[in-house]
């Protein structure tokens, strides 16, 4: 790993600020061209990116295409289509006291934006926020994760080839480079990762009073009510949990299942795993790997917090951990005190929806919450009495695929939301502009303040 930052890193923000101040990033034509080039980069180099994802995460090509290639292009295309409308000033009404006047909100870019991405979806989680920043008219510095080294290298080679390097920069490296970047003055910092580093990012941002967006994680719960369709629930939980071998910030972290349907749900979950990955998931071409030996060791240690009802096998040489369902869970073990971020799924029985709600409410707000129930009253109760960054009812993960729904956390799971138009607005200031006419200039607005003026003010204000 690199131990000292590249000297050029220290001047990155200043170089891009010069470009931004020249006005280069403001024209819609420039923004559109950069978005088109980003999409073109992904489409023309799909095979290289998918191979990099395979090396880093053992990611199946279909999964890599869906979650890291197509996800990004499906975000970019609406940005291109709606670029003019999303960046158009919006007229608003003006109160009587301001007349004659017209008022509008004018979207303007913030300046130079830093996007720091994690390793688990290293293309999606770098390029989607960067695309929003570009569509908003900003210059952007992108910092991919050094943990997903092959993907970082591919991005490092291809981004300068396709994008305008005077306004879009990509900085590779590890902690020294990130630290150097955080010491510079940016107009917005967008970080996706864990809460520990999130606190470091916020502390650095304070030095320049830089606003931040933090997309963190946490322990996203699943509530399985006795009224749920258990077969469907098992399939959807299994898909959401073992996608990317569980290395997803909104993956189901643990399940709270009504004790009356606990065993049938466990049976269906076991069937779903076999259906998805066969009798030996290690041999499945549809199942990924843990990103590094360090994360592998952390996960195998967490496994001690419960008893494996399904799975439990691991192979360090291949960074393989089987899809694992844990029962008889110790609620005080690290398994239940930190985000798992891997293929381990604790299943905990509860006596009722009420107990499940209380369990969730007593813990930090999660990034996502999932509830499976046929009883609408239970769903409404869960929605009303829990807080989470986002919710999917009778499903997992899919709320973040809708560009009309902002994606983000709350409390310890993050702050700020993006995707779609929200991902453009995040990197803009809606500048209020009031323009007064000069044909009339009523004297009532000026001193001296007479009794008559006072009466009129009280009537109209």
d(CA 68, CA 122): 8
Integer Rg of the chain from CA:
25
Q: State how far the Cα of 314 lies from the Cα of 229, in Å rounded to an integer.
A: 31
The single-letter DSSP state of residue 113 is E
Q: Which two tokens stand for residue 116?
A: 């720091």
Q: Are 94 and 103 in contact (CB under 8 A)?
A: yes
Helix (H/G/I), strand (E/B), else coil: 97? helix
The token duo for 405 is 């729904």
Among candidate residues 172, 180, 215, 268, the one labeled active-site is 215
**Beta carbons within 8 Å of 455's beta carbon, 6+ residues apart:** none
Which of the residues 249, 268, 339, 421 is marked catalytic?
Answer: 249
253 by DSSP, 3-state: which?
coil
Is-contact 206 63, C-beta < 8 A?
no
Would you call 337 a catalytic residue per the annotation? no
Number of H helices, E strands in the chain: 17, 20
Name the pairing type of β-strands 314-315 and 320-321.
Answer: antiparallel
Nearest in space to 382 (alpha carbons), one of 369, 368, 398, 400: 369
Closest CA to 197 of 209, 181, 185: 181
Which residues have a catalytic role annotated?
215, 249
């Amino acid at each position: 790993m690199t131990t000292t930052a590249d000297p050029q890193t220290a001047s990155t923000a200043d170089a891009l600020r010069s470009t931004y101040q020249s006005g280069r990033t403001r024209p819609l034509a420039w923004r559109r061209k950069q978005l088109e080039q980003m999409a073109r980069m992904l489409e023309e180099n799909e095979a290289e990116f998918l191979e990099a994802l395979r090396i880093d995460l053992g990611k199946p090509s279909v999964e890599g295409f869906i979650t890291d290639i197509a996800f990004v292009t499906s975000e970019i295309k609406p940005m291109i289509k709606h670029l003019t409308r999303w960046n158009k000033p919006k007229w608003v009404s003006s109160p009587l006291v301001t007349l004659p006047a017209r008022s509008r909100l004018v979207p303007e870019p913030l300046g130079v934006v830093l996007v720091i991405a994690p390793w688990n979806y290293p293309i999606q989680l770098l390029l989607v926020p960067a695309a929003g920043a570009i569509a908003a008219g900003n210059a952007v510095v992108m910092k991919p994760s050094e943990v997903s080294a092959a993907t970082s290298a591919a991005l490092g080679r291809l981004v300068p080839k396709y994008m305008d390097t005077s306004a879009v920069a990509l900085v590779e490296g590890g902690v020294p480079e990130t630290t150097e970047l955080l010491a510079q003055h940016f107009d917005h910092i967008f970080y996706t990762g864990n809460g520990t580093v999130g606190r470091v990012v916020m502390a650095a941002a304070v030095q320049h009073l830089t606003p931040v967006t933090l997309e963190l994680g946490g322990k996203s719960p699943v509530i399985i009510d006795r009224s749920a369709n258990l077969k469907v629930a098992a399939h959807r939980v299994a898909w959401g949990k073992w996608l990317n071998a569980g290395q997803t910030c909104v993956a189901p972290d643990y399940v709270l299942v009504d004790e009356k349907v606990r065993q049938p749900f466990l049976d269906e979950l076991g069937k779903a795993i076999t259906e998805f990955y066969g009798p030996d998931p290690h041999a499945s071409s549809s199942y990924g790997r843990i990103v590094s030996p360090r994360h592998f060791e952390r996960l195998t240690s967490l496994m001690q917090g419960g008893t494996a009802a399904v799975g439990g096998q691991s192979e360090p040489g291949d960074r393989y951990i089987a899809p694992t369902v844990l029962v008889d869970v110790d609620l005080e073990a690290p398994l239940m005190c930190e985000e798992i971020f891997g293929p381990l799924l604790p299943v905990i029985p509860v006596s009722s929806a009420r107990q499940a709600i209380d369990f969730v409410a007593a813990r930090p707000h999660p990034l996502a919450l999932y509830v499976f129930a046929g009883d609408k009253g239970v769903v409404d109760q869960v929605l009303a009495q829990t807080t989470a960054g986002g919710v999917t009812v009778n499903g997992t993960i899919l709320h973040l695929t809708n560009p009309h729904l902002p994606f983000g956390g709350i409390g310890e799971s993050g702050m700020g939301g993006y995707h779609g138009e929200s991902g453009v607005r995040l990197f803009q200031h809606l500048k209020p502009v009031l323009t007064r006419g000069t044909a009339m200039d009523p004297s009532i607005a000026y001193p001296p303040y007479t009794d008559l003026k006072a009466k009129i003010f009280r009537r109209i204000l």
